[in-house]
Amino acid sequence: MSGASGVDHLTDRHPSVTPERLVAGLVPPPTFADVSFDSYRPDQSEPSQTDAVQSCRAFCEQAVQRRAGKKKLFGKREVLSGVGVYLDGGFGVGKTHLLASSYYALAAADAGPAAFATFGELTQLAGVFGFVECIELLSDYVVVCIDEFELDDPGNTTLISRLLSALVERGVSIAATSNTLPEQLGEGRFAAQDFLREINTLANIFTTVRIEGPDYRHRDLPPAPVPPSDDEVRAEAADVAGATLDDFDALCSHLATMHPSRYHALIEGVTEVFITGVHPLDDQSVALRLVSLTDRLYDAGIPVVASGTKLDTVFSDEMLDGGFRKKYLRATSRLLALTAAGGH
């Protein structure tokens, strides 16, 4: 739907996501549609990046072997437990590139279907299908790749711990990325000590691979630029086919009307996102929804042009000092990269 300016608005979109669409969406996002281990370019000054490629290749080989099982008498095969790899590191060191490369390598190995989902999408999948049904749905997969592994509340901690444990027992291997070591998941966000058993179960599934290095998105990039004016944003949006134009507060309010798993559908078909009146946030719930939208925009490679405050000041110092610090820093990094792609 177009407004008076003739430009579409995200706030006019009310997407729905069917179970079938959720399953069909278990693939890497468009930004990582053509990646491979060979296309990963490790920083030669960071040996851990080259080591990580080898670790992921070895993981894929083990995952195929575990999925095939162990041959027993009379031609039957014993189900072997899956293996796990956990890519830990800062922002922009290529973790998602390697995760998607693992997905493609295993999908091509003909050992079973492969799944790729963000942590939020995986919890939504379990919510839509039910816990037992979700296990049945994924139990024949060779691998489940989980990007942006986060544990934001006790319910998710218990749910994902039990889900992954059940899948591993059935021969499914698990690959994940995060900015937090498995045994530190949940720190600073809730009473993690009350859920140590679940967190330790998750940690025991994975072999942790640490990837060091600077954020590649910021290589040769200047600091956050001075934003354009509201009028400049509106004028530019009117000249871009497939663009959307929204007021920041109105967009943040609209995001609250739907589950973050729908944000992917919300931006489907959009070529560029224009936002007016950006300002620092003081509500954690609003900020976390903006993080989710930013992740989906980044996955889809959709440029952003925004007026108002600089995008590296949207999340307050108080928020950055809290338990979601890494989420906010990742979102800031991605927003700046998308803004650079938008030409501002």
**Any residues with CB less than 8 A from the CB of 54 and at least 6 apart, and which?**
none
Domain 34-214 has CATH 3.40.50.300: yes
Instruction: Of 45-54, 174-183, 311-320, give the lowest mean pLDDT range.
Output: 174-183
Q: Where are the domains of the chain?
A: 10-16+217-341, 34-214
Distance (Å, rounded) from C-alpha 36 to C-alpha 49? 14
Phi-psi region of 219 (alpha: psi -120 to 50; beta: other; left: phi over 0): beta
Question: Percent of the chain scored above 70 by pLDDT?
Answer: 85
| pTM score of the predicted model | 0.77
Q: How confident is the model at residue 180 (pLDDT cuts 50, 70, 90)?
A: low
CA distances (Å), origin 212, targets 44, 45, 184, 208: 11, 10, 18, 13
What's the average model confidence in pLDDT over 249-263? 92
Strand partners, 144: 115, 174
Q: How confident is the model at residue 113 (pLDDT cuts 50, 70, 90)?
A: very high
